Chains A and B, each alone.
Chain A
């Protein structure tokens, strides 16, 4: 027996190794390799430039990841059903432009403009989803058309002025400039995370035990909880050395956790994974395939709009679309590097967080070392390729007869 059928008394290290082996054989890369890669990356940058691991740089990094990271979370949903959304960069740009026009030019209150910009993202996602799910146009093509069209609309909206500056004390600016200076905030949240994990795991263990089913040994739960706690407290400590917990990071982590819950613990999420594992099987099981497809593209549209607003917030201005394709590629790369499969059915929202950390660390580190941007692109491209190759290999391993 392998995997989750864990018998008490098994040595913990062996348990974890078996777990990794099982995951790999199932085509699930898991978070560990990426996390190790990230540690190596950070060590190398720190050796080359000892500002890299400074609280200031890490704190900035933690805010810089949020915009693109949110977009990557949306992409994870689309990748899970085995499709791709190429429009996210443009939708993010459009949402920011619409917000700026409504708020700055039209004088709408910030909160209203914000809500409308995010809803616009959902609506655009629904539109893409409709063409994809109802007319059977491949999602790649629909969203490619979207990429062009929404870029065009953004150009049109920003036409006269080209750039709109946002209120630098406003709500949207605060999204990325507000920090919880009180160190208690970061620390108590760092305590909350592991506590929730432990309670959930412990409760699960008790119910399994009561039903006479295999369950995780207690020490394994403790070790896992401790690992989460170490990461959480280290992060809180570093962030508190600078300005405290950034609001943006809090929003990002809460959204990632909430959407992970949605995907992995609700019937809706189950249908998303099911579509990635076999559309026909899902249809025959009574899953409303059309609706799930539309909803998934709505999630990615919504997250793209939200991400676009965070990116605009970071620079408190909105300008004509130029970097939207880089944005798309970074978000896509983040999802895949973090361990979400391009072939559907495998992945988690947390992979967006991990992946964007890698991407942003690369660009932040290379900026510190003043590497030319030409080289930066090539290195990021190389990392993405490596991740995709790993993904393909995992899916072709003899044990995983996945969709090919």
Chain B
């Protein structure tokens, strides 16, 4: 059962030069809820994630956190709200080792000096609790496989106690077993009361873990669905643009598409 409203976006727009990547987008995520964000390539999903994560702030629109309007202008703002992000382009530092990447920006220190032993211990514990096998946490991530890097990025996001998780195609380069692990993990995080925004092109994954699905098309909202009660075909046709939905109540001065 989803709990109270955690994050709400109202009328978010963002433009890159001539490209209107997001146009008046709305989105709501409750605690204990997994929302799938769907859309074709270039629909604006990653852009929306970056808006929420403070990496690429919106040009217009409002972000509400637990009912209060907040300013998310920098990654730090999102982090301090408890929003953790796994980016589509993984955003790891190639030359740093696994421990260095997991703790980047949140290093454990003793008297101003990095506490490598403690950071390595916590990294090992974290990887273990997620059933992630990485042979050596002291090798630079440049030497890891794509899937291993993805698991590093996911563990990194779970360090600390996030309230909300943004996952931009987290299973894209994972094998069958690791994908199942990640979906399990998403399930468990929801049970812990986190809000999760999951981007995926895999309808199977979406059906398996998501409660709600929000569809973006060409930067616009194109429908919100209850995953349990909606057929896969219906969602797909809204992704491809065969049907247009604007299920949210239209606001004044605005008509549905």
B203 within 8 A of A: no
B231 within 8 A of A: no
Q: Which of B79, B87, B89, B105 has the most CB of A within 10 A?
A: B105
Nearest to B74 among chain A residues (CB) is A286
Answer whether A286 and B114 are a contact pair too, CB < 8 Å, given A26-B143, A213-B121, A273-B93.
no
Contact of B95 among A208, A211, A277 (CB under 8 A): A277
A273 engages B96 (CB within 8 Å): yes
B11 within 8 A of A: no
A278 engages B136 (CB within 8 Å): no
Report B-chain residues with C-beta under 8 Å of the C-beta of A207: 117
B95 engages A346 (CB within 8 Å): yes
Report B-chain residues with C-beta under 8 Å of the C-beta of A1: 135-136
Answer whether A266 and B100 are a contact pair too, CB < 8 Å, given A5-B136, A284-B87, A401-B142.
no
Nearest to B53 among chain A residues (CB) is A284
B121 engages A402 (CB within 8 Å): no
Assembled-state Cα–Cα distance A265/B121 (Å): 17
Report B-chain residues with C-beta under 8 Å of the C-beta of A281: 90-93, 101, 104
Assembled-state Cα–Cα distance A375/B87 (Å): 53
CB neighbors of B among A263-314 (8 A) = 265-267, 270, 273-274, 276-278, 280-287
- Interface flags for A11-54 (1: CB within 8 Å of B; 0: not) read 00000000000100111000000000000000000000000000
A284 engages B55 (CB within 8 Å): yes
Contact of A402 among B53, B76, B94, B100 (CB under 8 A): B94
B105 engages A278 (CB within 8 Å): no
Q: Which of A2, A276, A285 has the most CB of B within 10 A?
A: A285
A219 within 8 A of B: no
Nearest to B94 among chain A residues (CB) is A277
- Nearest chain A CB to B175's CB is how many angstroms away? 19
Report A-chain residues with C-beta under 8 Å of the C-beta of B1: none
B140 within 8 A of A: yes
B120 within 8 A of A: yes
Categorize the interface residue count of chain B.
35 or more
Report A-chain residues with C-beta under 8 Å of the C-beta of B138: 3-5
A285 engages B94 (CB within 8 Å): no
Contact of B114 among A25, A266, A276 (CB under 8 A): A266
- Nearest chain A CB to B162's CB is how many angstroms away? 14
Report A-chain residues with C-beta under 8 Å of the C-beta of B85: 284
Assembled-state Cα–Cα distance A400/B117 (Å): 25
Report B-chain residues with C-beta under 8 Å of the C-beta of A213: 117, 120-121, 124
Report B-chain residues with C-beta under 8 Å of the C-beta of A270: 96, 100, 104, 107, 114
A204 within 8 A of B: yes
- Nearest chain A CB to B48's CB is how many angstroms away? 15
Assembled-state Cα–Cα distance A1/B106 (Å): 27
B75 within 8 A of A: yes
State how many residues of chain A have any CB contact under 8 Å with chain B.
40
Report B-chain residues with C-beta under 8 Å of the C-beta of A287: 104-105
Nearest to A5 among chain B residues (CB) is B136
Report A-chain residues with C-beta under 8 Å of the C-beta of B117: 204, 207-208, 211, 213
- Nearest chain B CB to A348's CB is how many angstroms away? 13
Q: Which of B92, B116, B117 has the most CB of A within 10 A?
A: B117
Assembled-state Cα–Cα distance A25/B135 (Å): 16
Nearest to A26 among chain B residues (CB) is B140
Nearest to A347 among chain B residues (CB) is B95
Report A-chain residues with C-beta under 8 Å of the C-beta of B143: 25-26, 399-401
CB neighbors of A among B88-141 (8 A) = 89-96, 100-101, 104-107, 109, 112-114, 116-117, 120-121, 124, 135-136, 138-140
A345 within 8 A of B: yes
Nearest to B77 among chain A residues (CB) is A286
A403 within 8 A of B: yes
Report B-chain residues with C-beta under 8 Å of the C-beta of A26: 139-140, 142-143
Assembled-state Cα–Cα distance A273/B96 (Å): 7
Report A-chain residues with C-beta under 8 Å of the C-beta of B120: 208, 213
Nearest to A341 among chain B residues (CB) is B95
Assembled-state Cα–Cα distance A26/B96 (Å): 10
B105 engages A286 (CB within 8 Å): yes
Q: List 8 A-B contacts (CB under 8 A).
A: A211-B117, A273-B96, A273-B100, A274-B100, A277-B96, A284-B85, A345-B93, A346-B95
B contacts, CB < 8 Å to A: 53, 55, 74-76, 79, 85, 87, 89-96, 100-101, 104-107, 109, 112-114, 116-117, 120-121, 124, 135-136, 138-140, 142-143
Interface contacts beyond A4-B138, A276-B95, A345-B95: sample of 16 additional A-B pairs, CB < 8 Å, sorted by A: A1-B136, A2-B139, A5-B138, A265-B114, A266-B113, A270-B107, A273-B100, A278-B92, A281-B90, A281-B92, A282-B105, A283-B75, A284-B53, A284-B55, A286-B74, A400-B143
The 10 closest A-B pairs by CB, nearest first: A277-B93, A345-B95, A277-B95, A285-B105, A286-B105, A281-B91, A285-B104, A267-B107, A207-B117, A4-B138
